[in-house]
Structure 1
Amino acid sequence: MDVDGVLNAFERELGPSFMTVYVVRWPIRWQPAVIDRLRMLLLRPGVEGAWLTTWLEERWLLDELEQVLGLDGLMPHRASHPAVQAIDGGSRIDSRFDAWATFVPESQHWWKLRAADVLTDQLRPARFAWADDELTLSTRTPVGRWRPGRTHNQLLLRPDPMVGLSEADLRRLEDWVSEGHGGGEADAVGILVRDLIDGLGPTLVAALAGETDLRLVQRWTDGVAPFPTAGLRERLACAHRVWRRVAAAEGDGVAREWFVASNPWLQDDTVVAAIAESRLTEVSIAAQALVDESWSG
């Protein structure tokens, strides 16, 4: 997955579904709802994420990006880059890229085409999906197998760079991943709910899910209970993302207290109540405010 034009939208003025945060000096305009669905996808057994982006030149920036977007631990692979910079200012040239490698996506020597070949040769994935806003710029040149489109074994997406990866793009990706693997999303929900129960306990998880039957919530972890609705899956994914974000920054104890305390960013409601009411954008803003140390509570 690319970053700029995919997870980071280029349009400066976007609607209320977007948030803006900074990774060092770079503004990231992202959609929490899209990231939550992406998290659910990456939690499925057998699905592994990989970065293929110019950000690989300064790899330490990706660590912070993952934390900001709540993707830490879900993007275990990183593609190669022609010249990797060290945080102390040094540089390492990757000899697997020849002298013709270019950063011009219209060229058949675009560095990402070579990086995609190296990555797939290393990982040998059974299937491979690639999202990059510059993919179709190479259609006039021979780019081998890396042409946007869909087959059973390969999906190449070019999002609109002004708005980035959309929920429609995510639906295409989810449908493609689910081909022949119908239980994958149930397994992802189970992993997500187990994490939340470990952090918050079953009573709070049931409350944010709007359920009164604790046994039902516990059974979600086994994938045997009635499958949560799409709206409930969105609430659980949001809770999981903000829990991990706040716990990573402030610790588990503060994160649990934050979920149940009156919050000025939520009109003095609790995070649990706001999630139960599907006020997910407000919850994302409140979590970022706490991490940025601008929360007054």
Structure 2
Amino acid sequence: MTGVAGGTRSRDRSRYDKAHAQATRLDFSDVAQFLSESLGGKLTAFIAGVDAKTVHRWTSGDGQRPRDAHEQRLRAAFQIFQLLQAMESPHTVRAWFMGMNPQLDDASPAEALADDRHRDAMAAARAFVQGG
């Protein structure tokens, strides 16, 4: 049994590491673009704590830099999206971001990220990946 559990943990760790590497290496404008296309501009703006026009400026690559808090929120959202997308369809992942989540006291993961509860949102994503 230990080999099976160890193998599962190893695969999970690999998915987490890959999602982290993607979120870290990708240029911020590409992160914003991906999330805007995958989640929609309004939901991306909500997570970041800005208006949709600001997200559009970030995706256009006009050189406007986000505040650190905005970038942290979107990089966390991107990392979580990548983790979930390895197991689920983009439609399911978008629904997961918007829906009430029991791991987050029925707040949505988007709300948790907007409130800078990145670790809580990641824990909820991991629980979802593991079948919870």
- For normalisation by structure 2, the TM-score amounts to 0.83
CA distance in 2, matches of 1:23, 1:251: 26
Matched with 1:233 is: 71
Matched with 1:67 is: 15
Matched with 2:99 is: 261
Given the superposition, is the C-alpha separation of residues 25 and 66 from structure 1 closer, same or farther in structure 2, using an over 3 Å criterion? closer
Matched with 2:129 is: 291
Q: How many Å apart are 1:25 and its aligned residue?
A: 6.1
Q: How many Å apart are 1:69 and its aligned residue?
A: 2.7
Residues 1:219 and 2:57 aligned together: yes
RMSD of the TM alignment (CA)?
2.6
Residue identity opposite 1:200 in structure 2:
L
CA distance in 2, matches of 1:259, 1:193: 16
Contact kept in structure 2, 1:23 and 1:65, CA below 8 Å: no
Aligned length in residues: 127
Residue identity opposite 1:287 in structure 2:
A
More helix by share: 2
More strand by share: 1
Contact kept in structure 1, 2:19 and 2:83, CA below 8 Å: no
- Unaligned 5+ segments in structure 1 are 1-21, 28-60, 75-169, 171-184
Residues 24-46 of structure 1 deviation map (CA, whole Å, 9 limit, x = unaligned): 2657xxxxxxxxxxxxxxxxxxx
Q: How many Å apart are 1:245 and its aligned residue?
A: 1.1
Q: Give the structure, 1 or 2, with the largest relative contact order (CA under 8 Å, sep 6 or more).
A: 2
Greater CA deviation, 245-254 or 218-227? 218-227
SS state of the match for residue 24, structure 1?
A: helix
Q: How many Å apart are 1:70 and its aligned residue?
A: 3.8
Contact kept in structure 2, 1:66 and 1:72, CA below 8 Å: no
Residue identity opposite 2:19 in structure 1:
L
- For normalisation by structure 1, the TM-score amounts to 0.39
Question: Which has more radius of gyration?
Answer: 1
Contact kept in structure 2, 1:70 and 1:242, CA below 8 Å: no
Residues 1:24 and 2:16 aligned together: no
Aligned residues with identical type, % of pairs: 25
Residue identity opposite 1:69 in structure 2:
D
Contact kept in structure 2, 1:216 and 1:225, CA below 8 Å: no
